Amino acid sequence: TALPPMAATRTTCPYCGVGCGVLARPDGAGGLAPVQGDPDHPANRGRLCGKGRSLADTLGGAGRLTRARLHGRPVALDAALDRVAAGFAATLARKGPSGVAFYLSGQMLTEDYYAANKLAKGFLCTANVDTNSRLCMSSTVAGHVRAFGEDLVPGAYDDLDGCDLAVLVGSNAAWCHPVLFGRLMDARGSRGTRLVVIDPRRTETAAGADLHLPIRPGGDVALYQFLLVEAARRGLIAAPAAIGLADALADARADTPDLAAAADLTGLTPDSLHRFADMVLATDRTVTLFSQGVNQSGAGTDKVNAILNLDIALGRIGRPGAGPFSLTGQPNAMGGREVGGLANQLAAHLGFSDAERAMVGRFWGTDTVATGPGLKAVEMIDALEDGRIEAIWIIGTNPAVSLPDAGRFRRALARCPLVVVSDCVTGTDTQALAHILLPAAGWSEKDGTVTNSERRISRQRAVLPAPGDALPDWRLIQAVARRLGFGHAFDWRHPSEIFDEHARLSAEAARHFGRRFDIGGLAGLGRQGYDALAPVQWPVPVSRNGPQSGPRNGQLGHAGTARLTLSGDGARMVAVRHRRPDDQPDTDFPLVLNTGRLRDQWHTMTRTGRAARLAAHSPEPCLALHPADAAATGVQDGDIATVTGRRGACLLRVVIDAGQRPGEAFAPIHWSDAFAAEAAIGRIASPVTDPLSGQPELKHAAIRVERW
């Protein structure tokens, strides 16, 4: 007789910032049975996209890193960890704290992130701790800090259900955040929510919109300046005492004194601008969702603040069904932000002032807290190149493909005397340049928490044992910390103890510095309470006496919305000016390359590339070209083209697409040389960064296209 099916484990999808709940169970043959959406998870209510549904297909089998390697040869894990610790100790002795660095990932669980950040910033005295989240949402972080004094996302997914107008800026949500897009489509059906999409490309998201504004790349600040000017002209400023209103409005008027100026800077018609202004300004319940088209820009922070300025002026921040909402790309970009996973943060939303460093030092029991911000992702390329960094530990990411100017990064990494990579898969382009590989536990094999785009903390839970010598990242970090003599500060036995420390630190930061990121109410859960934690949205302060609404389905947590109420008067408007992207086309490089994700792939395909049904959606690296550009270039649909930028070249299959703006091409980010020869688009991507956030301008590089 058949055995009864094993009970499903509630966990969280690792593929994007929506943070969908997943029900997973072993298949009895060493893998996972096909997963299902968790109907009780507030983010997805049972829904999953194709990537989520294919999770079981992306695990196990060949290509799994299960043993440590030293110079490519298998070695005992203890011996590899000895070499990592000895190498870091020698580099610290030779170069000081600035000679070592960590490059982390928004894939890491909060507990892993916390451990890495504590080791580097608390005990190695270096803030050279950055992450691929720098490429994802750091402009939003900088914009939030300028407007709200802290990295706060005021909105929640409930706003998508209750808005009358959704404006998507630089977001192809139908492909990149499909479950949230599904919620918007539900709202469209139930309450007639209208949709405006601002995107140079006619994406699948744009194709279903009431209004698509095919904006000129870099025109977003001017578009929102125009709306602010229009709001003032129509007498609609609802927060006249908002800090910075006069200066922000003056700069908006300087950029877009009239409709003609706005049309010129945005590349949009006066009619469409008027129509857009009528819709946004007349609809109180308007949510503005922004994503990588805003963030991945040399003016990303100003774009974010231009969007926030309008909502502050209109009094829409923190109101149900309204306000700005950042869609993060990575599953735990938010959790990383909370523990200080960026080079310019300390921990718990704190910076590097003497008072903040002293408080964190007391909490961690160390007097070697990093003295100031460290190197951001793109700055690390320079530091590797000129020898300032001589030891780097890369965790759970593939920067040899994903960083801009990836060819230069590869050359710089090849010069570095000690490159450590921990990962759950083998064969990445980055690993080819590593001296030591450490086997990490992957999704479904480890326990911890992640925070999604609406500040909701959810558990990832282990369903399967980790194979071979693979360990959770925090265990690998702990092992190195012990070897370096810091075992007393890293004596955790279970991730619940790290989470507890993180929660207590957030409460201290809230008490001393008034930080709104406060999960002190989740301290003291113990292992049992942590295991039972249901999705919960921060803030959860101590005064609320722990989880907010008691047990639900036998778990602790709450499914409700914790709204951050920021009045317009309590937020700051920031004066910004339009400026065009840096890498402008010329006669040698006459086209502009935009980059982004495909529907069924994730990052550099290290996991989604293993699932045949995901690969079927778009099996080859490609370049979308407008028909006029294809004709001018002499290429046809299906041709292989050499795409050359100022920093490198790729081979891509041409796809003729009338949804492209003339003069602009598009290529997906996913392929690496491990999957297709000379396909890594990072070789072409521009290393120009936003001066405030350090986020690279991945969506604008001048190129030329030639038939191969």
Residues in touch with ligand SF4 (CB under 6 A): 13, 15-16, 18-20, 44, 48-49, 51-52, 177-179
Instruction: Rank residues 544 and 599 by Cβ distance to ligand SF4 and give the closer one.
Output: 599
What kind and span of H or E run contains 78?
helix 77-95
First to last CA, the chain: 60
Q: How far is the CB of 333 from ligand SF4 (least distance, A)?
A: 12
Q: How far is the CB of 607 from ligand SF4 (least distance, A)?
A: 11
Environment class of 3 (CB within 10 Å of its CB; exposed 0-12, middle 13-18, buried 19+):
exposed
Q: Assess contact for 405 and 411: CB atoms under 8 A.
A: no
Question: What's the min distance (Å) between Cβ of 177 and ligand SF4?
Answer: 6
Query: Long-range contacts: 478-486, Cβ < 8 Å, 24+?
Result: 478/115, 479/81, 480/81, 480/84, 480/85, 480/88, 480/119, 481/115, 481/119, 481/123, 483/81, 483/82, 483/84, 483/85, 483/86, 484/85, 484/88, 484/89, 484/123, 484/124, 486/119, 486/123
Task: Give whichever of 195 and 685 is closer to ligand SF4, judged by the CB atom.
Answer: 195
Nearest distance, CB of residue 173 and ligand SF4, angstroms = 9
Cβ nearer to ligand SF4, comparing 477 with 614 = 614
Place of tokens 């020898």: 387
Smallest gap, in angstroms, from Cβ of residue 406 to ligand SF4? 24
Q: What span, in angstroms and rounded, lies between the C-alpha atoms of 472 and 477?
A: 9
* Nearest approach, Cβ of residue 460 and ligand SF4 (Å): 12
The 8-class DSSP code of residue 668 comes to E
Q: Would you give the DSSP letter of residue 689?
A: B
Please count the other Cβ atoms lying within 10 Å of the Cβ belonging to residue 582: 17
Shorter beta-carbon distance to ligand SF4: residue 16 or 125: 16
* Residue with token string 């709104």: 516
CB nearer ligand SF4, residue 140 or residue 328: 328
Select 137 or 400, whichever has its Cβ closest to ligand SF4. 137
- Choice between 506 and 601, CB closer to ligand SF4: 601
CA dist., res. 274 & res. 692, Å (int): 32
Helix (H, G, I), strand (E, B) or coil at 37: strand
Least distance to ligand SF4, CB of residue 44, Å: 6
Residue 707 pairs with which residues in a beta bridge? 641
Cβ 620 to ligand SF4, closest distance in Å? 22
Q: How far is the CB of 604 from ligand SF4 (least distance, A)?
A: 16
Type of residue at 461: R
Q: Residue type at 183?
A: R
CB of 245 closer than 8 Å to CB of 573: yes
448-451: strand order across its sheet:
448-451, 456-460, 536-537
Q: DSSP string covering 504-518, please?
A: HHHHHHHHHH--S--
- The CB-of-640 to ligand SF4 minimum distance in angstroms stands at 30
Taking the complex as a whole, the smallest distance from the CB of residue 161 to ligand SF4 amounts, in Å, to 16
Are 576 and 679 in contact, with CB atoms under 8 Å apart? no
Pairing assessment for the beta strands 622-625 and 649-656 based on DSSP bridges: parallel
Name the residue nearer to ligand SF4 (CB basis): 25 or 515: 25
- The minimum distance between CB 13 and ligand SF4, in angstroms, equals 3
Which residue, 455 or 572, has its beta carbon nearer to ligand SF4?
455
Residues 6 or more apart whose Cβ sits within 8 Å of residue 684: 593, 643, 644, 645, 647, 648, 649, 650, 701, 703
φ, ψ at 378 (rounded to 5°): -70, -30
Give 177 or 647: the residue with its C-beta nearer to ligand SF4: 177
**Least distance to ligand SF4, CB of residue 578, Å:** 33
Task: Supply the minimum distance, in Å, between the C-beta of residue 454 and ligand SF4.
Answer: 12
**Min CB(160)–ligand SF4 separation in Å:** 13
* 3-state secondary structure at position 69: strand
Strand segments (E) across 215-293: 286-290
Return the residue nearest ligand SF4 (CB atom). 52
- Please identify, using beta-carbon distances, which residue of 49 and 434 lies nearer to ligand SF4: 49
Burial call 603-621: b when 16+ CB within 10 Å, e when fewer:
bbbbbbbbbeebbeebeeb
Smaller CB separation from ligand SF4, 170 or 520: 170
Q: Which is nearer to ligand SF4, 20 or 147 (CB)?
A: 20
- Cβ proximity to ligand SF4, 56 vs 489, nearer residue: 56
Partners of residue 130 on adjacent β-strands? 103
What is the rounded CA–CA span in Å between residue 94 and residue 88?
Answer: 10
User: Please, which residue, 182 or 581, has the CB nearer to ligand SF4?
Assistant: 182
> Is 689 in contact with 695 (CB distance < 8 Å)?
yes
What's the chain's length in residues?
708
* CB 667, CB 681: distance < 8 Å: yes
